[in-house]
Amino acid sequence: QVQLVESGGGVVQAGGSLRLSCVVSGRTVTYYTMGWFRQAPGKEREFVAAINWNGGSTWYADSLKGRFTISRDNAKNTVYLQMNSLKPEDTAVYYCAPVLQSGNRWLANVAAFASWGQGTQVTVSS
């Protein structure tokens, strides 16, 4: 199964930018659709973005499209999330995972990985 290591978070001022990275390792990594989720204190984990195996298709939470960009570099086994125009409401722990579609929702593909990574904290100050 897949192992996941997120990095790149930090503390930024509102309006600033960050780029998160997710290093993915394990068997048959290349062909997974990958995604980002985030979870703020006291709130449910929510879908952020997804990207298919070759980067040809991307999907975003409606509220985030235009500010966030997901990409991947399969040669580096890495998925990225470029976050621009950050807002305090973006403050959360960000996680990556293989994902799948279920109805009109994106969910973690729990069959494809054993454990969530540690996540990376993003804090946006006002």
Q: Is 118's pLDDT higher than 70? A: yes
Mean pLDDT throughout 98-106? Answer: 94
Confidence of residue 68 (pLDDT cuts 50, 70, 90): very high
Q: Is 65's pLDDT higher than 90? A: no
Mean pLDDT throughout 55-63? Answer: 94
DSSP codes, the chain: -BEEEEE--EEEETT--EEEEEEEESTT-TT--EEEEEE-TTS--EEEEEE-TTSS-EEE-TTTBTTEEEEEEGGGTEEEEEE-S--GGG-EEEEEEEEEEETTEEEE-TTSBSS----EEEEEE-
Q: How far apart are CA 68 and CA 63, in angstroms?
A: 10
Mean pLDDT throughout 68-75? Answer: 95
The per-residue pLDDT of the chain, averaged, comes to 94
pLDDT at 117: 96
